[in-house]
Structure 1
Amino acid sequence: MTGPDTGVIDRLDRAAPSRRKNRVLVVDEEEALTDLLTLALTFEGWHVETLATGVDAVRVAHRFAPDAILLDMTLPDISGVAVVSQLRDSGIDAPVIFLTGRSTLDDRLAAFAAGGDDYMTKPFGLEEVTARLRSVFRRAGLADTSLLFADLVLDTGTGQAWRNGDPLILSRLETALLRILIERRGDPVDGTGVIRSLGLAGHTVTETAAARAAHRLSEIVDHDAEPLVRSSNGSLWVEAPVAHE
């Protein structure tokens, strides 16, 4: 759900009718494995499609629009590395987790060089696969606990935050302040309001500590990027950058 001109996408409401299931494309020729993965991932509430060949993976990915791809490195037609290269060349940037029985350093380097995001060696536990995918979805803002603003993602369950996919190292106080600013959807909050809101979030702070947290938050979020955290006349808010044509 996106507020008008706010840049905010709120995914906290599990019952929101517009929230589609996260999509996982599984590409592996081992039918027994894909059946198990389908069962486990469907149980998580995700939409799963399975394929056995790399050529089909490249073709179907455009239609299926996956949020993540589980990909065997050794396929019957083309290699998993070639699949990722073709996907990236065609504009599909969904995170790819390689599933493979090969574990040499050269294999891992080739996987990451091609644009893979993670690497799991067979045999592996289904719980580990789902955990890796949950991490991918949190980083992409696709978890039920995700709160988004422009290219900023805050996971309210773990307290983790990312900007444009890069992790932000925030203190608990800075994380609480960031959540307050995003949830206000760009409305400025003055110093007194910051202290009151932090108090409601379980943080008792002085005016000096709140100001220090606000300054530090701005430095971290806006480092080497378009400014999102704004301040003026003692008030603080987040504002989406203006798109340049």
Structure 2
Amino acid sequence: MNILLVEDDLDLASGLVKALRHEGFTVNHVTRGREAVLSVKAEPPDMVVLDLGLPDIDGLQVLKAIRSGRRSLPVLILTARDGLDDKVVALDTGADDYLSKPFEMEELLARLRVVARRLGTSQNSKIELHGVSLDTRHHQVLVNDLPIKLSRREYMLLMALMENSGRVQTKEMLEQKLYGWGEEVVSNAIEVHISNIRKKLPADFIKTVRGVGYSISKLRS
């Protein structure tokens, strides 16, 4: 999942970026509201984590601007404003969730996992397809009940495909989920990751849709 973090406290933002990336999220960070609005229009993320007390425009204005063009884009408010009225206004304006500072990282991560499940195909922290089980809470992948080792980006790529089972993911879509702004992306990076993952999974688990991208078929009901 690609997250846009809108936070002007650089120390807090640095800690959040590090923690979220450790959990398998791709994170891009901006400090100003107008930057956030432009970023969402130019390169929509999967989710926005938004502070309200920004130096240029109020976070509620950012939320309204996002909602005017991206009605379904999940937005989690992360702010020092902890009054009931603040929460009600933000939620009525279109926020999907609201977490007051100070907060526990585990709670934030739990809330983000809920959103990730809602965006994907899974209804809990485990996604199981064709003998492969991916646990998004513990970052564990099992093949026929046996654990396998994946690098961070291999895990993120596999999660992106399994969460979107039945839907083709293009190379560009996968690159956006795996790499943040400014990170150098080798032209064949996705192909290399796919090749490495396939060696550890059942044959034909990841299918190539020639000229389009990659997919994992859904389980039949």
| Counterpart in the other structure of 1:202 | none
Letter in 1 for 2:52: M
Q: Say if 2:11 is the partner of 1:65.
A: no
The 1:40–1:117 alpha-carbon spacing in structure 2 relative to 1, beyond 3 Å, is same
User: How many equivalent pairs are there?
Assistant: 134
Question: Could you say which structure has the larger radius of gyration?
Answer: 1
**1:56-113 Cα distance to aligned partner (Å, 9 max, x none):** 0000112332111110011111111111110110235321111111111210111011
Cα displacement string for residues 102-129 of structure 1 (whole angstroms, at most 9, x for unaligned residues): 1112101110111001111101122211
Other structure's SS at 1:29 match: coil
Following TM superposition, the consecutive aligned residue runs of length 4 or more in structure 1 with deviations greater than 2 angstroms are 142-148
Q: What TM-score does the superposition give when structure 1 sets the normalisation length?
A: 0.50
Match of 1:51 among 13, 30, 53: 30
Gaps of 5+ in 2: 137-165, 167-219
Query: 75, 85, 94: which one pairs with 2:64?
Result: 85
Residue of structure 1 in register with 2:4 after alignment: 25
Q: Is 2:100 aligned against 1:121?
A: yes
> Equivalent pairs: percent with the same residue?
38
Q: In the alignment, does 2:76 pair up with 1:97? A: yes
Are residues 82 and 147 of structure 1, via their aligned partners in 2, closer, same or farther at CA, if it must alter by over 3 Å?
Answer: farther
CA distance in 2, matches of 1:93, 1:78: 22
- Partner Cα distance (1:142, 1:26) in 2: 24
Render the CA deviation track for 1:134-193: whole Å, top value 9, x for unaligned: 011011116684589xxxxxxx979xxxxxxxxxxxxxxxxxxxxxxxxxx9xxxxxxxx
Q: What's the counterpart of residue 188 of structure 2?
A: none
C-alpha separation between the residues in 2 aligned to 1:146 and 1:87? 30
Partners of 1:147 and 1:62 lie apart in 2 by 34
Secondary structure of the 2:99 match is strand
How large is the Cα RMSD of the aligned pairs?
A: 2.6
In structure 2, distance between residues paired with 1:44 and 1:147: 19
TM-score by length of 2: 0.55
What aligned pairs does 1:143-154 form with structure 2 within 5 A after superposition? 145-146=126-127
Unaligned runs of 5+ in 1: 1-21, 149-155, 159-184, 186-236, 239-245
